[in-house]
Amino acid sequence: MKIAVLYICTGKYDIFWKGFYQTSEKYFLTNHEKHYFVFTDSTSISDDHSRIHKIHQVSLGWPYNTLMRFKFFQSIENELKEFDYIYFFNSNMRFLSNVGEEVFPSEEEDGLLAVLHPGYFNKTEKDFPYERSKRSLACIRKGEGKHYYMGGFNGGIAKDFLNLINKLSQNIETDLSNNIIAVWHDESHLNAYLLNKKNRILSPAYGFGEGWPLPFEPKIIVLDKNKFGGHHFLRETPPQKTGIVRKVKRWLYQKVKGN
């Protein structure tokens, strides 16, 4: 199979590329042909390998670097049509052990793969941080939804994932035109899109927060950004704009521990 890996590392996030690439080559779908599409403005990332394709992307700042990811992906839609499967990974992810064909969803699963969010895998709908505003196209009404998916790892059969990319890009553009940004940006829109899909669902072992007390053997770890300067440094935003994010993450961590 031909596999497309989508990866964004604008600004200071290029610090994560080398570790991601090396562990992906070692552990991810090693029996298949992988091509990396790296959206970046970094001059330190080399594209002299035939399977690494750099797409110049300037940093849009927070939260647009994450919110507009589907728009980025649309820019190479024709290239992506040549692949069998497409997967997106957050920049600060690392593979720890073999990840194989369990990531291949079937047509019966609507051709899409999603990973349970490590903070909500054992929670119920009332705890999920869905977008609740009816003004947003990411809205999920109270009483709906069985799962909350992380935005950092998703993918699927190329044609089905391209449908997701195009629809979510359109929905986000519509929200922005109405001066709306969903509560958790692209992740909110992803959850709304997958709400009534069947989906291949993977456990938080495939999105294991570094240092989190989770009852899974980690296969893919999400590195703690505080060890790399923190959100403020990486996003190049004033500290006061990221303070609420830190508070939410501390609260979420306590919830996971059961405190």
* Residues classed as catalytic: 187
In degrees, to the nearest 5, what angle opens at C-alpha 124 toward C-alphas 170 and 114? 45
d(CA 158, CA 4): 9
Is-contact 74 164, C-beta < 8 A? Answer: no
